[in-house]
């Protein structure tokens, strides 16, 4: 399978910036996804990176380094509603890229 | 726009009982998936389908069966439920022509086996 590592929990305060890291095995790489999941709800798509560099989308940005097997999700101007679990996902090796393997998720708690 | 719809949303089963989780998508997606999500384990793929009439095993297929008789529906069956199958089940789908293969999830089905 595909080993994906991300921190279990993070805390931050409203208005701050937080960076959530994700590392993965580099062989057979075909893109990396970030999903957001609020408690009791379904995961929803946040971002996709297939090339090195930073992709910015409003308050959220996602960075990828393929050579290092490393990605991060950057959340700026944190709001209380950003409290959620953030899931890093990649297609598993030899899957034909028709499925995704998810990390265990990083639970982010934003406090006032 | 319904997207991916799962039924039932909540169910309590006794050990040994059988049940079927129903998933329907109205986005004309070719790919459909069943994941389970457990505390500390993340989302794990049970079975998936790349088209009508085809299914394949994922990471944790044991104890489950699936069928994809129609393109829009993907059924997950538990023939003899066990407490270890207590989990939240998510159905999902994606489009063949989406080179990113973005996956869209249903709202989840909470299953408790006692």
What is the DSSP code string of B53-89? TEEEE-SS-TT-EEE-SSTTEEEEEESS--GGG-EEE
Residues of A in contact with B50 (CB under 8 A): 98
Residue B10 banded pLDDT, cuts 50, 70, 90: very high
Cα-trace Rg, chain B: 13
Look at residue A2 in the predicted model and tell me its pLDDT.
65
Smallest CA–CA separation between B22 and chain A, in Å?
A: 16
Q: Are B9 and B21 in contact (CB under 8 A)?
A: no
Phi-psi region of A105 (alpha: psi -120 to 50; beta: other; left: phi over 0): left
Q: Give the C-alpha separation, B71 to B8, whole Å.
A: 20
> Mean pLDDT over residues A9-17, rounded?
97
Is the CB of A102 less than 8 angstroms away from the CB of B43? yes
Look at residue A97 in the predicted model and tell me its pLDDT.
53
Whether pLDDT at A86 is above 60: yes
Whether pLDDT at A1 is above 60: no
Percent of chain A's residues with pLDDT above 70: 88
Phi-psi region of A69 (alpha: psi -120 to 50; beta: other; left: phi over 0): left
Query: A49-74, pLDDT tens digit by residue?
Result: 989 999 999 999 999 998 899 999 99
Q: Does any CB of chain A come closer than 8 Å to the CB of residue B89?
A: no
Look at residue A91 in the predicted model and tell me its pLDDT.
79
The pLDDT mean for chain B works out to 93
**Which of B33, B40, B107 is the closest to A42 by Cβ?**
B107
Q: Which helix (H) or strand (E) holds B39?
A: none
């Amino acid at each position: 399978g595909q080993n994906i590592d991300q921190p279990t929990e993070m805390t931050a305060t409203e208005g701050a910036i937080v960076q959530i890291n994700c590392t993965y095995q580099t062989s057979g790489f075909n893109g990396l996804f970030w999903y957001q999941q609020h408690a009791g709800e379904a995961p929803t798509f946040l971002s996709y990176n297939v090339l090195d560099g930073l992709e910015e989308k409003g308050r959220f940005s996602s960075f990828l380094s393929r050579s290092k097997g490393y990605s991060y999700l950057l959340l700026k101007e944190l709001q209380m509603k950003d409290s959620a679990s953030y899931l890093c996902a990649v297609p598993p090796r030899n899957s034909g890229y028709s499925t995704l393997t998810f990390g265990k998720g990083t639970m982010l708690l934003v406090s006032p | 726009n319904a997207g991916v719809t799962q039924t039932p949303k909540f169910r309590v089963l006794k050990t040994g009982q059988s049940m079927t989780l129903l998933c329907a998508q109205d986005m004309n997606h070719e790919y459909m998936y069943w994941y389970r999500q457990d505390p500390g384990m993340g989302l794990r793929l049970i079975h998936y389908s790349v088209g009508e009439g085809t299914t394949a095993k994922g990471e944790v297929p044991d104890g489950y069966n699936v069928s994809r008789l129609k393109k829009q529906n993907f059924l997950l069956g538990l023939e003899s439920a066990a407490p270890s199958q207590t989990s939240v089940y998510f159905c999902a789908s994606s489009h063949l022509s989406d080179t990113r293969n973005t996956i869209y999830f249903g709202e989840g089905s909470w299953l408790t086996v006692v």
